[in-house]
Amino acid sequence: DAGVIQSPRHEVTEMGQEVTLRCKPISGHNSLFWYRQTMMRGLELLIYFNNNVPIDDSGMPEDRFSAKMPNASFSTLKIQPSEPRDSAVYFCASSFGLAADTQYFGPGTRLTVL
Amino acid sequence: RKEVEQDPGPFNVPEGATVAFNCTYSNSASQSFFWYRQDCRKEPKLLMSVYSSGNEDGRFTAQLNRASQYISLLIRDSKLSDSATYLCVVNMDSSYKLIFGSGTRLLVRP
């Protein structure tokens, strides 16, 4: 079975540019999470969707960040405009139901903003 | 105080050694506890859940001490392939939100 799929795997962009990260959750999973991981702050939850509806976006750092989930098999995380401090690894994870112990992570997108 | 605290390590041990990691959490109302493993430049993966009675999976043993608010992971007979970062994870209210520790790095040398 395919796991969580993320694209691109690596992204290098210049400050001020728009960045769009993509995620395809595991088929049948109805919860989707976007995380950010940095050396300084570790793994942080940015936003959580359940049945395609954003439930908790309290972790989204600021208005430059937005996330959508138009259907059960696709989600995007957009940063506009990007800044160097956004450089991090962004993970998408999915799970079935509300059980917290079954989150499956994608391989991540390593973002570098110059 | 961080919600979940871990010693960052690294723990540098020879093959065959036994190594233990501890993790403390701040919220006494925390409901569920887990250890995730993250290899270098890879995604986190669930290693094992931590139950009140303690649980064992092969060479790995996890224990929970609610009174002292800490979780432990014991690895026996360390293998080179055990080299990774081990993330302590706590769920506060049995819903979706996981709080990740910053991880403990383990290096197993030949």
Average pLDDT of the residues of chain A: 93
Higher-pLDDT residue of A81 and A61 is: A81
At residue A44, what are phi and psi to the nearest 5 degrees?
Answer: -125, 135
Nearest residue in chain B measured CA to CA from A103: B46
Any A CB within 8 A of B28 CB: no
pLDDT band at B56 (very low <50, low <70, confident <90, very high): very high
- Confidence check: pLDDT of A102 > 90: no
E strands, chain A, in order: 5-7, 10-13, 19-24, 31-38, 42-50, 53-56, 65-71, 74-79, 88-95, 104-105, 109-113
Q: How far is A45 from chain B (nearest CA, A)?
A: 8
Reported as a single tens digit per residue, the pLDDT across A11-62 is 999 999 999 999 999 999 999 999 999 998 899 999 999 999 999 999 998 8
CB contact under 8 A, A48 and B100: no
pLDDT band at B26 (very low <50, low <70, confident <90, very high): very high
Reported as a single tens digit per residue, the pLDDT across B68-101 is 999 999 999 999 999 999 999 998 776 778 899 9
CB contact under 8 A, A56 and B46: no
Q: What does the radius of gyration of chain B's CA atoms come to, in whole angstroms?
A: 13
CB contact under 8 A, A106 and B91: no
Q: How far is B9 from chain A (nearest CA, A)?
A: 14
Nearest residue in chain A measured CA to CA from B88: A43
